[in-house]
Amino acid sequence: MSEFRFSVGPWNVHSGADSYGPATRAEIDMEEKFSRFADIGFSAVQFHDDDAVPDINKYSDGEIKRLAAARKKQLDKYGLAAEFVAPRLWMDPHCVDGGFTSRYEEDREYAMWRAYRSIDIAHELGTDLIVLWLAREGTLCAESKDPVWETRMLVEAIDKMLDYDPNIRVAIEPKPNEPIDRSICGTMGHVMAVSAATKDPARVGGNLESAHATLAGLDPACEIGFALAMGKLFTVHLNDQNGIKYDQDKSFGVENLRAAFNQVKVLKEHNYGAKGEYVGLDVKAMRTTRDADGYKHLENSLNIFKALEAKVGRWDYGFEKQCVEKRDYEALEMYVLKLLMGIA
């Protein structure tokens, strides 16, 4: 039995289409996903604003609230909570050159409209958490935006969100690249600095995604620890990544088992979840996966997490202390590997 509660987003169950080929699986209805998420053992669902209210541009602010309230009723049927709402600022034509940091004022205003609607939707879904994955906040052409100006525009946008609602919290999800070439907020360090620059730093924290840390050449457990040390790890997106290339959103632990172990260890040792935080997944099935197996990557990720949680529970702190006193890290490392190989 896990000490943690888990969340997942509907985009984690997808048709398999990628930039190089069409769908390989049928689309699945949102309510069917909710039903399967509950069956698998998730407690909450993550949303983009237009997951909760599809075709969001078509509606007035009042209609958006009513449609979000209907989505909440759907969640309630399956005993699921909403973890967060994230404005999807990377698909609409207004966001072609970024949202908060677009050089065009009407695009920045559109991005703020989506951010405010995400807050309205969060209210209706019963969550106070907004996630900002800053997909296109950066440059494709380095000289197209001044990095000082961009960074200040990001802080200004978050301040406007904090003013719009005195109760919401904002979790920035850092990523160093893709789809953008030069991101303005690529690591948890950047997130903490942006948080400190806002008008209410206690309400601005981070969402650490394992694969994004790897893409930045950093260790996910260290990025998690950095945010925990600041008291600002509002959520996580656990998954895995095979080296520095395109974002793979692989099942948790399947590529880097020891790195996954250390993510679970730092979360467990620092009572992550005690303030209601969820362990969020952000994983995608392989394009080769058949329809019948379309949820296996979620089940695998949860099972790997729980197996590693049990290994953390067996950690021999006395042996660790001995190794540290003797500075025998070779012995400590061998112990870790034996534990993970099941021969300790």
- Which residues are catalytically annotated? 48, 51
Nearer to Mg ion by Cβ, of 64 and 247: the residue is 247
Considering only residues 17 to 56 of the shown chain, the ones binding Mg ion according to CB under 5 A are none
d(CA 246, CA 211): 10
Using the minimum distance from each CB to Mg ion, give the nearer residue, 19 or 60.
19
First-to-last alpha carbon distance for the chain, in angstroms, is 22
Q: How far is the CB of 126 from Mg ion (least distance, A)?
A: 21
Query: Closest distance between ligand XLS and the C-beta of residue 220, in Å?
Result: 13
Query: What SS3 class is residue 66?
Result: helix
Report the partner that residue 247 touches, choosing among Mg ion, ligand XLS, none (CB closer than 5 to 8 A by kind).
Answer: ligand XLS
What residue type is assigned to position 234 of the chain? Answer: F
Query: Judged by CB, which is closer to ligand XLS: 179, or 276?
Result: 179
Q: Which of 6, 84, 100, 133 binds ligand XLS (CB under 6 A)?
A: 133
Q: Which two tokens stand for residue 56?
A: 């969001």
In the region spanning residues 174 to 203, those forming contacts with ligand XLS, defined by CB under 6 A, are: 175
Q: Which is nearer to ligand XLS, 113 or 315 (CB)?
A: 113
Amino acid (1-letter code) at residue 113? W
CB atoms within 10 A of CB 333: 12
Residue showing the smallest CB distance to Mg ion in the complex: 282
Query: Which CA distances in Å does 204 have to 82, 201, 299?
Result: 19, 5, 31
Give me the residue whose beta carbon is nearest to ligand XLS: 133
Residues 268-307, one symbol each (x = binds Mg ion by CB under 5 A, - = not), give: --------------x-------------------------
Residues 236-295 that bind ligand XLS (CB under 6 A): 237, 247, 282
Amino acid at 177: N
In terms of Cα–Cα distance, which of 280, 271, 261 is closest to 335? Answer: 261
**Cα–Cα distance, 192 to 183 (Å, whole number):** 15
Residues 6+ apart with CB under 8 A from 151: 184, 185, 194
Least distance in Å: CB of 47 to ligand XLS? 9
Question: Any contact of residue 209 with Mg ion (CB under 5 A)?
Answer: yes
Number of residues that bind ligand XLS (CB under 6 A): 9
Alpha helices in the chain (DSSP H): 30-40, 49-52, 61-77, 105-125, 147-164, 188-197, 210-215, 220-229, 257-269, 296-313, 317-326, 329-341
Q: Is 83 in the site for ligand XLS (CB under 6 A)?
A: no
Rounded distance between C-alpha atoms, residue 164 and residue 128, angstroms: 13
Distances (CA, A) of 227 to 267, 308, 344: 11, 21, 31
Strands 182-183 and 138-139, by their bridges, are antiparallel
* Least Å from the CB of residue 298 to Mg ion: 14
Question: 86 touches which of ligand XLS, Mg ion, none (CB within 5 to 8 A by kind)?
Answer: ligand XLS
- What, of ligand XLS, Mg ion, none, does residue 49 touch, CB below 5 to 8 Å by kind? none
Q: Output 84 or 110, the one with its CB closest to Mg ion.
A: 84
> Which residues would be at the binding site for Mg ion (CB under 5 A)?
209, 237, 282
> Which residues would be at the binding site for ligand XLS (CB under 6 A)?
48, 86, 133, 173, 175, 209, 237, 247, 282
